Amino acid sequence: MTQVAEHVAIIMDGNGRWAQRRGRPRLVGHHAGAKRVREIVQACPEVRVKYLTVFAFSTENWKRTQVEVSGLMRLFKRYIRRETQALIDEGVRVRFIGDRIKLDDTLVQLMDELELVTSGNSTIHLTIALNYGGRDEVTRAAQRMAREVEAGKLAAQSVTAEVLASFLDTHFLPDPDLVIRTSGEARISNFLLWQSAYAEYEFVETLWPDFTALQFTQLISRFGTRDRRYGALTA
């Protein structure tokens, strides 16, 4: 039986190595990686992927050099400015997850504007995780829930998995069906921890700037034949 991967999430890893192998600064790899995002978004409708979530910057990435961090922040701004019209034209709705508190005002404003101008779109839902960490997200959700309990708006005994999920950054998304990580590393690095409880995983050797739409569609086809049992028996 073939099934559809409605929501695919990607850990776009390997930009730094891609650049270093060419004797170039790591940021060159990030720029090459950013170009790949458009190609993968465009490949989604054909393989019936409705939601694409990409990990652009983690809560741990602040530990990188100041040159790399500020270069990435500039890249995100440039990406938003450059891609806005194409995203509107292609029917892409963009949303961001992660904590915006540490991001600079100009970037947050660009993110808000992009969310607003694409809010009427529904062909593809692109979610960009920026200053995102799974544990940080669950911690922030727990704090918000605790405040509601303190204020008498929420009863502790009515907190179910569904209620907790409604406090997460991803409250508007279905859980991912498939999580792809490029560059040969087989770990999940704090990405969508709660949401990926029953996701299938693909770890591929390709460095993110070399990852093609063809490879993406092949992984989606392979997903179609997987037997997902969610802890139960095969039907």
Binding site for ligand FPP (CB under 6 A): 12-17, 30, 33-34, 37, 54, 56, 61, 75-76, 79, 128, 183, 208
Tell me the β-bridge partners of 201: 179
Residues making up the chain, counted from first to last:
235
Q: What is the spatial distance between Cα 56 and Cα 61, in angstroms, rounded to a whole number? A: 10
Q: Which is nearer to ligand FPP, 84 or 217 (CB)?
A: 84
- To ligand FPP, the closest distance from the beta carbon of 66 in angstroms equals 15
Q: Which is nearer to ligand FPP, 51 or 79 (CB)?
A: 79
- To ligand FPP, the closest distance from the beta carbon of 222 in angstroms equals 23
The sign one gets for the Cα dihedral 84, 88, 90, 92 is: positive
Q: Which is nearer to ligand FPP, 35 or 135 (CB)?
A: 35
Q: Which is nearer to ligand FPP, 16 or 223 (CB)?
A: 16
Q: Which phi and psi (to 5°) does residue 2 adopt?
A: -95, 140
Q: Residues with catalytic annotation?
A: 13, 61
**226 close to 199: Cβ distance less than 8 angstroms:** no
Q: Which is nearer to ligand FPP, 82 or 144 (CB)?
A: 82
- To ligand FPP, the closest distance from the beta carbon of 57 in angstroms equals 6
What is the b/e burial string over 173-188, where b = at least 16 CB atoms within 10 angstroms of the residue's CB? bebbbbbbbbbeeeeb
How many Å is the Cα radius of gyration of the chain? Answer: 18
Residues 6+ apart with CB under 8 A from 114: 80, 84, 87, 94
- To ligand FPP, the closest distance from the beta carbon of 46 in angstroms equals 20
- To ligand FPP, the closest distance from the beta carbon of 201 in angstroms equals 17
Q: Distance between alpha carbon 73 and the CA centroid of its chain, in Å?
A: 16
**138 close to 168: Cβ distance less than 8 angstroms:** yes
Q: What is the spatial distance between Cα 64 and Cα 98, in angstroms, rounded to a whole number? A: 18
Determine the residue with CB nearest ligand FPP: 16
